[in-house]
Structure 1
């Protein structure tokens, strides 16, 4: 091996780690990717089962506004995103022979909507760049050596493995979908080295509420379309699905941060956002009884919405009261679904622990990328873009070496 080449270890083979590997290899580094699983990109493949949503066509400022976290460095993230925005990501896919299109929702997909073909081409490109893959290697720690290099420790089965590198990029994900490898087991290792990690919380996840057995039997699995959903002063439009435990759906995922801030989380649903309360009352005309039935006929209020209103408000004896409830149905939520079920997690390595190059201040030469860092974003292409963005920065930084203050 050319001794002048920087040797870099990437711990974690998800989108952030693979992007870091690609960028570092293109800058002349000798890159080795370690992953605990038999193959890379497992969460990437799971995310693509219902159609791989790579990014979003939103304008830059709208895109930037989707990201948040504790002490989130907005201006720093702005620069990260400029270096690898949604257009860069679509161009990157095209270079792999995967053309994309933007749906009316703004979501950007490969034309095939499949993740596997893109991942295969990506891994092939990485191999062509000289990237080495070490699968079934469980990372267990690292230590700075007297020569300035970094020793990483892994277990391959029950056999300890050690190797030394000039730089290390940690990209092991948060704690959602642990079956894909993002178990969060790295937290205790970094905390033992004095690195602050903000506790994980479920993000982009369903929320629970106390359905009665009667309501659950009527609504489970049923969609609620064309809604306005509000929480803690923020309102979004979209649709939800009623589940056995509560709700799932994109607007609910996006409101997750607001809901976690509430001591007693509550959502407000406007079931008929295209009509004013006065218009709904007028459409009832001379109705004097069977108000749910009449609302179904005159407002097209579906049975799922009626069942939910009936649980929380009981029977109605006038059109005005039903109209008021239909426009602002308050539903208390009990808790978010477990982290293991969540699409992503909030929390992770605190921003105060990282410099502008995403290097750990207490561990020079060690960089972080992806969901390991304390940022969050909604689904719709923003989440995966954030993984690519941080992988891009970490890969560049690792290849260049620490920037001296």
Structure 2
């Protein structure tokens, strides 16, 4: 780029914002990052408590099908393809952070910690002369773009990338305070809902001690037309776990959310019945033993009894219904669904109503299950927004 380097502001110091900053700075832009919190990468550090699941090792053609949204464009898969899981792993390796793939396909740093990666990343950003400004909460966004912050700072830039997060984990800075600011410019924002979250169930009080804190493993679960395999964790308030996280979009679309569980997905109905052919009474007790059910699975079956026959019990074990009341609060959710509608942005993630202003990360209306897909999309959209800003300025 001829003349002085373009000045690009990044508002939001999560993975999408920081990677947008790195991408733009590598191309010669003068980049300033602003974050409302006392430090950047807070959500990444919180995610690191569980080992920091960076991405997933499944084939890319399968990987890109994991993303959902009411108006998710076909180009979203292309966006992931432009910065795929292999590129994210190479990026971490270049920071000195080796990664490994678990048997499940999930990819983690070998140290199973986020802090070493964050330290190395911030050192790289300093080398690229990226300015990191904390305690800067954006209060106004104007044409130019111009940015006003709560502490009185007023700056003008050639381009701006907003990476302000969704509405989950607000203690890390994702509090959706930006919605009125964008709506004042006519930008349509789909209301946020909890995603990758637990769901509440009205368990009978006397069953809670037998259920709370226990896993249901190796099950199949269905909501509407969506089937998944995985595990569930039984809690005092309802259900948590990977299986119900994956079914979140289907459950939210149901007027009366209902989960159907197959407790023995590997065993056909007729085999379950055959293993009980000599049983004439005490069906649940016999089934728990002969089918090798866990105590918590047996307790769930007890809640749907009594059983009139072996077939009745077997059919319930293969399609056990659980009525759900509501998702857990969005502040507890791992991620959120909703955000800036896709009709409001172009292929480079620039807002139609605010030329020179781009959006990235969980601000946009997409969602994905846990397993590395969330962080991967934050990096990919940060990369796309930075490339779009550079092209816009060129």
Normalising by structure 1, we get a TM-score of 0.95
Instruction: Give SS of 1:73's match.
Output: coil
* Pairing 1:169–2:161 present: yes
Q: CA deviation at 1:401?
A: 2.1
Instruction: Give SS of 2:255's match.
Output: coil
Cα distance in 2 between the residues matched to 1:19 and 1:201: 26
Listed one character per residue, the Cα deviations across residues 55-90 of structure 1 (whole Å, up to 9, x for unaligned) are 00111111110111121102x112211210010001
Q: CA deviation at 1:217?
A: 1.7
User: In the alignment, what sits opposite 2:55?
Assistant: 55
Gaps of 5+ in 1: none
Gaps of 5+ in 2: none
Q: CA deviation at 1:320?
A: 1.2
User: In the alignment, what sits opposite 2:121?
Assistant: 122
User: In the alignment, what sits opposite 1:212?
Assistant: 204
Match of 1:194 among 163, 166, 186: 186
Cα distance in 1 between the residues matched to 2:112 and 2:287: 39
Listed one character per residue, the Cα deviations across residues 162-182 of structure 1 (whole Å, up to 9, x for unaligned) are 111111100010000000000
Q: CA deviation at 1:285?
A: 3.0
Cα distance in 1 between the residues matched to 2:122 and 2:366: 26
Alignment of 1:213-228 (within 5 A): 213-228=205-220
Match of 1:335 among 326, 329, 354: 326
Cα distance in 2 between the residues matched to 1:121 and 1:291: 60
Listed one character per residue, the Cα deviations across residues 110-138 of structure 1 (whole Å, up to 9, x for unaligned) are 11111111011011101110000110111
Instruction: Give SS of 1:49's match.
Output: helix
CA contact (8 A) 1:96 1:121 kept: yes
Instruction: Give SS of 1:358's match.
Output: coil
CA contact (8 A) 2:65 2:77 kept: no
The ranges of structure 1 where at least 4 consecutive aligned residues each deviate by more than 6 angstroms after the TM superposition are none
CA contact (8 A) 1:288 1:317 kept: no
Alignment of 1:288-303 (within 5 A): 288-303=280-295
Cα distance in 2 between the residues matched to 1:22 and 1:292: 60
CA contact (8 A) 1:316 1:322 kept: yes
User: In the alignment, what sits opposite 2:41?
Assistant: 41
Matched positions, count? 393
* Pairing 1:399–2:390 present: yes
Normalising by structure 2, we get a TM-score of 0.98
* Pairing 1:352–2:347 present: no
RMSD: 1.2
Instruction: Give SS of 1:315's match.
Output: coil
User: In the alignment, what sits opposite 1:138?
Assistant: 137
User: In the alignment, what sits opposite 2:262?
Assistant: 270
